[in-house]
Structure 1
């Protein structure tokens, strides 16, 4: 049949800015409303008008008296829904619109993810961004983020066969499906999935970006204690909190690498707790926290190539098998030195973002070109006395302030564990006292953490560590029993180690008046048991500090390493390492630390030359009563 020519004037032309709706294929009469404007396709031409499809399920007639233009089958037309007769027949009137916004309509009511739990059993439409595509042995699982949260959506074509293969990560889509309960949350059973383009895509993306910016904004909190030195880091911490919240909302996993000691655990455990709570608040999948966040202890005080290789392999496998984005790497209580840079360079091949929070003396010129954010007190003319655990408790509160009461004792544990003599330590200890912890309790917690992590090795020991630190524990008696057992065992093992080692100490008094104690921990201490060489050196050091009351330096050395401890002597260990590297050809010297704790490595055959040169530098070091203590607990 020849094209139909309209004989009427059509409906009244709307004003500019009118919304015109385009229906998804599955939409029915229930999804349209009289007086609204729709875009349809001509599917038939007759003498008295044209038939228009708004969807696969909904068609109607535009009578020639209500038709303006000339049309043939396949042409698009804008219409107003004029009438629905009792027999179900639908009539339209053509409209001409000079300027309009096209809006996609799915079957069922349009919902946001936060409200889906109240729509169980209903068919709904959600507009959002595809964050992850995971192919299972059955359905394809799409993780979809809208402006309120993230929901898993199951689409089935054939078992193990990718549904909607044209849909990719980052696409803006309109999804229609049935809301079902699953694993304590909700899941959408996909009936229709359409990639949005042009204006429809732009409108949804703009709404998502606006909501993301708002949700990523950290909580507005006050510091737990007043400390002028700490205030310098506050803006840096807020920016990291914003970045971590945004990372979660964008569907990017986080791999959290932390030093396996008391301060590292006081940093990582509260942050893990806060991030998991934040994930649970925004993801309908109850398993999301397990997939989105991994806490990984590191034995070395820097990011080893062994660790980065494991992390990369894990991330690439998850991208291939589960459709995950590559993760953000969060380094805690290490990551600030030149020793970390080979690992960071490896990550840059894959554009993996890196965030570092550390309180060891940094090498910013070496590190910062390779990372995305760096929080370190030395960058603000402060030092190690602001521990990473102290920083991360505040960071955790910026992510989820409701955790504050559960974390009030943790900064004191971190400070005692890492030998902080910061001016706010009495305030932190007093705050812990208000929660029922005296100083011995705090020391015992730190000792229990060190003991547990030694035997856990590369395992995060989630439940045991939570109980020992009393974070996410909910059983104070169990916490106390665990700490008593672990700290008592640790004390016993330390005594056995010192009984064997103390008789082999070498002592000399340096020109600056400090006592120097040296011990070959490789030959005169038990190996492969607690405490390890670093901890053994620290315990010997604490005993000598207590017995002499004078400035003390202790060196515990092995074939190719030395662990350094100082009390009352200002040792610039990073500077010593730099000087020894330049002065001793073939020494292979590397390492780092801060003013009172550090370690160095060297080649085995140059040990005596390196140690002799190191002692000469220590003999010229400044005596500093401000760095003198009565022996704290931890060893970095």
Structure 2
């Protein structure tokens, strides 16, 4: 029986337990696709491209297809070339032998917690012979093997094997002093104290020297070079300078912000006041180096700077766990840098919007929270509604944050690790979304040693319907920032760390302010260098009657009214399809890189689909007048395509705009167990729901979404609820 290479749990015939299957990458050496295990990650070689995806060879004669729908980016944006080593996930093997592959955000050995070889006969570590169960003691690593360990230029983290000739030559020789030191496990370097050695040669309390160091120092005659050794210690350098120090030996000091175990070295992500870098420390393949060093510890690292596939990494020669004044000095430097760098100097609202200016303090607090999360290497999760306004707001933050993450982290794919945008089907941050987020963040914490993220909720999270979801996050002490152009409910004010809402600034809630416009100014405060890229976004975020100041701003940026309308409609259409996905590259192309052709093409589809639905709905509207209020009633179950574009809220918005003529008017769309209300007056949906609940006491009427005017009820009481809502709306006018 073998044991899991990640957690040590006893397993049957394999080398990884069920819970860590996706933490290991496999080198497949079988000859049949039927031997592949679904959900596992495999190393492969790019075979070639097709219009619909990429073919990847997992082994000679075993090829899979990574379909373009599985990519998190456009197919033509991949920089893979035929022959490149890549990492993919096996989604399944079909009866005809075709292998369906999935995307892997991890594209290096060091980003997995282990590496295994999968033969037809079983699994083993790269250094083991096939059939070895892994229970034997590992062979002692020779000095040649240890010295050469590191991540190769091709991204491999396996140590190079010493030849038989080298082993034979070294067998009867005494190792040199530097070789003896190299033989000591890296994990036994000084890890308990930052204190300097005592001049007498004895170690300070809590200090552990590498194996062999004490004997060597005891037998050696003192000489001048020994006295000069302290002066030879490298000076500390900052992480931001490492790109210019490839090939050099350096010393860095910082805080451990991440730890992951690969099939080769242990990789510590170390952050100082200027950035973060991966530090590789090696004991034996897949063995945890420095087990006493965890996330949050202050450390000193001496090592050589290397570059692999464009990523800077430090190959550790010594890693010291700091404590006392030395650790405090590291944390103080980082804290001071965070304070200086995280707080923006000020807020300059786009187009000089006075309502946004009144919210300056809250927006600066929100910007500081985002910038601090970047500097602390904390992931940022942005939640926004899957609407045109919501996508514009989310894309504005994304545009501002990604360059800062790239500057902060040396890994080329850091922007995918530290920033996630997750759209919501509805503008409510409910328990379903919060449970999804909590599950993901706890898995990332426990499996990948990631810090808990900062949640930025834009256009959602400020109403009582989101209270349960916010409360779930607060149980884990997660920071949440809410930015909403609409007036927030009083109950949410104390539930989140930072809340930006018009009412809180005592400006009365400007009804002409959209969330996209508000968040675009926030994004410009987060990163002033992208301000010019954001100028047209506020105008795009308004569905109708955009303020003239934002129309002019967009025009100055090169976006006339027609172009703005095309962008709005194109984003709205794409927001509906695959609404739970961020569609990062597609949305960025539409909003920032498109010369007009893409938006025009998509917006044409938007208009065709919307007009078809409007014609059908308009022909089946029932009108009636109640207490001087004219109503347009639509059976949304019978006269809309419920599972195709446009979504019911968008359809009713357009229908209401076309029919309302300034008189007391309301549009009500009634479905099986939900309805939507649109009015020309400032009518509270909550008040309508409460009054309808009194008039239809057996229907369990409740507000489901204030922002979209949604009310839910029991389907068996549909007719009674429709009458009750009409009466309640008429009373509210």
Tell me the TM-score normalised to structure 2 length.
0.68
Q: Which residue of 2 aligns with 1:464?
A: 586
Q: Work out which structure has the larger RCO, using CA pairs closer than 8 Å and 6 or more positions apart in sequence.
A: 1
Shift of 1:453: 1.4
2:713 to 597, 602, 607: 602
Query: Does 2:300 correspond to 1:174?
Result: yes
2:648 to 494, 509, 533: 533
Change (3 A) 1:40 1:459: same
**Alpha-carbon separation, structure 2, partners of 1:54 and 1:602:** 71
Change (3 A) 1:120 1:345: same
Q: Which residue of 1 aligns with 2:227?
A: 90
Shift of 1:117: 1.3
Q: Judge conservation of contact 1:129–1:170 (CA < 8 Å) in 2.
A: yes
Query: Does 2:608 correspond to 1:497?
Result: no
Q: Which residue of 2 aligns with 1:314?
A: 440
Query: Does 2:632 correspond to 1:520?
Result: no
**Alpha-carbon separation, structure 2, partners of 1:574 and 1:142:** 51
Query: Does 2:237 correspond to 1:140?
Result: no
Shift of 1:138: 2.1
Worse-superposed segment, 612-621 or 260-269: 612-621
Q: Which residue of 1 aligns with 2:277?
A: 151
Q: Which residue of 2 aligns with 1:302?
A: 428
Q: Judge conservation of contact 2:688–2:729 (CA < 8 Å) in 1.
A: no
Q: Judge conservation of contact 2:686–2:703 (CA < 8 Å) in 1.
A: no
Q: Judge conservation of contact 2:258–2:268 (CA < 8 Å) in 1.
A: yes
Q: Which residue of 2 aligns with 1:481?
A: 597
The Cα offsets for residues 602-635 of structure 1, whole Å up to 9 and x where unpaired, read as 221233333323222322444xxxxxxxxxxxxx
Larger Rg: 1
Shift of 1:455: 1.5
Instruction: Provide the secondary structure at the position in 2 that maps to 1:508.
Output: strand
The Cα offsets for residues 496-536 of structure 1, whole Å up to 9 and x where unpaired, read as 21222222101123434x43111011111223111121122
Q: Judge conservation of contact 1:555–1:563 (CA < 8 Å) in 2.
A: yes
**Alpha-carbon separation, structure 2, partners of 1:572 and 1:420:** 22
Q: Which residue of 1 aligns with 2:325?
A: 199
Change (3 A) 1:91 1:606: closer
Instruction: Provide the secondary structure at the position in 1 that maps to 2:494.
Output: helix
**Alpha-carbon separation, structure 2, partners of 1:522 and 1:89:** 87
Q: Judge conservation of contact 2:676–2:709 (CA < 8 Å) in 1.
A: yes
Q: Judge conservation of contact 2:391–2:575 (CA < 8 Å) in 1.
A: no
Shift of 1:91: 8.3
Q: Which residue of 2 aligns with 1:33?
A: none
Q: Which residue of 1 aligns with 2:251?
A: 125
1:560 to 673, 681, 685: 673
Shift of 1:124: 0.7
Shift of 1:304: 3.0
Q: Which residue of 1 aligns with 2:455?
A: 329
Q: Judge conservation of contact 1:577–1:592 (CA < 8 Å) in 2.
A: no
Q: Which residue of 1 aligns with 2:530?
A: 403
Q: Which residue of 2 aligns with 1:392?
A: 519
**Alpha-carbon separation, structure 2, partners of 1:579 and 1:335:** 25
Structure 1 runs not aligned, ≥5 long: 1-24, 28-36, 45-52, 60-72, 74-82, 93-103, 623-636
Shift of 1:325: 1.0
Q: Judge conservation of contact 1:355–1:373 (CA < 8 Å) in 2.
A: yes
Query: Does 2:567 correspond to 1:452?
Result: no
Q: Which residue of 2 aligns with 1:16?
A: none
2:726 to 608, 612, 615: 615
Structure 2 runs not aligned, ≥5 long: 1-179, 183-194, 203-207
Instruction: Provide the secondary structure at the position in 1 that maps to 2:259.
Output: strand
Instruction: Provide the secondary structure at the position in 2 that maps to 1:225.
Output: helix
Alignment of 1:45-444 (within 5 A): 85=224, 88=225, 90=227, 107-365=233-491, 367-379=492-504, 380=506, 381-414=508-541, 416-417=542-543, 419=544, 425-444=547-566
The Cα offsets for residues 367-407 of structure 1, whole Å up to 9 and x where unpaired, read as 23332111112333214432211111111111111111111
The Cα offsets for residues 454-510 of structure 1, whole Å up to 9 and x where unpaired, read as 11221211111112222xx2xx42xx1111111111111112212222221011234
Tell me the TM-score normalised to structure 1 length.
0.78
Instruction: Provide the secondary structure at the position in 2 that maps to 1:189.
Output: strand
Q: Judge conservation of contact 2:251–2:301 (CA < 8 Å) in 1.
A: yes
Instruction: Provide the secondary structure at the position in 1 that maps to 2:716.
Output: helix
Shift of 1:551: 4.6
Change (3 A) 1:228 1:89: closer
Instruction: Provide the secondary structure at the position in 1 that maps to 2:564.
Output: helix
Q: Structure 1 runs of 4+ off > 6 angstroms?
A: 53-59
Shift of 1:448: 0.9
Q: Which residue of 2 aligns with 1:573?
A: 685
1:42 to 200, 215, 218: 200
Change (3 A) 1:345 1:170: same
